[in-house]
A and B are shown apart, each in its own frame.
Chain A
């Protein structure tokens, strides 16, 4: 079903390259296991049975940054962990996206002190912020779907042409 209905009798479907590439990127986005604190438990709950994230394409959580394209920063980032986070972000291959999950990753959360970065966007550029302390698994899934919409609207060919 689906695509075969539009094929006609020649088996040809026309679309733009951007649409196809963006569609394939969103449907199999593999997150990197970066659970730091309490939000990690809600991320695990979102991956487990009741709120299954595999139905959105995120079947595997790869521990290695070389094999993942989405980094969900779940939890508070302390000053000792900051350089580690940046190095892992640098090791991910393009294209890559970052979701800042929870209040501590978005803005420092409850902890406004010497030891926590006030928002992980001081270290890596963030695409989607998910609020909550910790956000419900449904909120995280909503954040992931928002990221999918953002990726689908990404005109990377037009941007590359403009840059030239």
Chain B
């Protein structure tokens, strides 16, 4: 294990101004272990007093080698690793990977599975925004937001546990559908949540939205212009708060999103307060989608019939020889993918989550690349914080909504 080297000005010479070399400005390390950096992110700040002149992010402290590890596993078994990338949006990561595999091998998904996927992914979107609001409040010293948000999140995690047995890393969405059908208590649990949550959103708004301390710390800082956002590849609520109406659920609908009626909040100011307002509005729109999907939930199978890719249910294995052989082949060797590559993207709470999968004719993928939104969202932060105080940097970083598992993979 190598020793830590003291940081020297020489390695960042091409990124900082000349004033740092004379000692006029100071290089400060906002290290990987810090309460406000939302994970293991290291920021090297060049400070002139309290004002940030330059900010150099140093990432890689959570690099897990997921993309290489997925090349050593079959398509089914590699899905387990996708949950652990963006750990706030586990169902969404599963959905992105599973949709890419289905596109690669051309597998159909029955309508009941599509509706269940939409309900769970929208619940996950709400859970992810709740954690963001909670930690945002915590960063700006409003600790009660943290406790309220986690109380609601427990209810959503109870629904996930009801459906799959696990609170966070569920791997419930599988290629061809979902793992198994939901129990009878699912609908009641989701409806109970839908009944209480709108009032809770109003509670959060009463606490924060018009609070003069909150607005003072947020409004007018960290302005992200439309051209800069598009040039840096920023997507998601950050892009929508800068005036661009781009949401993959509306532009390239998948999993039946075209049948649901919802709006996409777009604001034009592009500052930190706008990013907060966009996310509060997304709560309400997600609730609309869940309600419509639950009302229209069709009956039917939850997994595709194509036994070349989808393992048969356990009840069939005892009675049918083909089912036994399919089960054996799929779990020992796996299914074969064509020698080609595709790219497929979904809308995660942070932006465009895309998966590039290349098969090589065998059972293991040649390359799986996860195009994670937080990577590009973080790349724009050094431009946003120039000229602001260190306290503003904390607020701006919270508003961009990064998850380090997403960035470092």
Contact = CB atoms under 8 A, between A and B. Distances in A.
Contacts of B131: 41
A49 B150 contact: yes
A20 interface: no
Contact of B151 (A38, A49, A75, A116): A49
A88 to B, nearest CB: 6
Given A34-B33, A80-B61, A136-B167, A110 B81 contact: yes
Interface stretch (B1-9, B311-319, B340-348): B1-9
A114 B65 contact: yes
Contact of B61 (A49, A78, A87, A112): A78
Interface in B149-188: 150-151, 153-154, 157, 167-169
Contacts of B34: 63
Nearest to B150: A48
B253 interface: no
A38 B87 contact: yes
A86 B87 contact: no
A122 B21 CA distance: 39
Nearest to B146: A48
A61 to B, nearest CB: 8
Contacts of A83: 1-4
Interface string A81-99: 1111011100000000000
Interface of B is mostly: loop
A141 B33 CA distance: 23
Counting contact residues on chain A (CB < 8 A from B), the size range is 35 or more
A113 B68 contact: yes
B68 A114 contact: yes
A123 B1 contact: yes
Contact of A88 (B33, B69, B405): B33
Contacts of B146: 48
Interface of A: 33-34, 36-38, 40-42, 44-45, 48-50, 63, 75-76, 78-84, 86-88, 110-116, 123, 133-134, 136
12 contacts: A38-B168, A42-B168, A45-B157, A49-B150, A50-B151, A78-B61, A80-B61, A81-B62, A84-B31, A110-B80, A111-B64, A113-B64
Given A37-B62, A78-B408, 7 more contacts: A36-B62, A48-B146, A83-B1, A110-B81, A110-B84, A111-B81, A113-B69
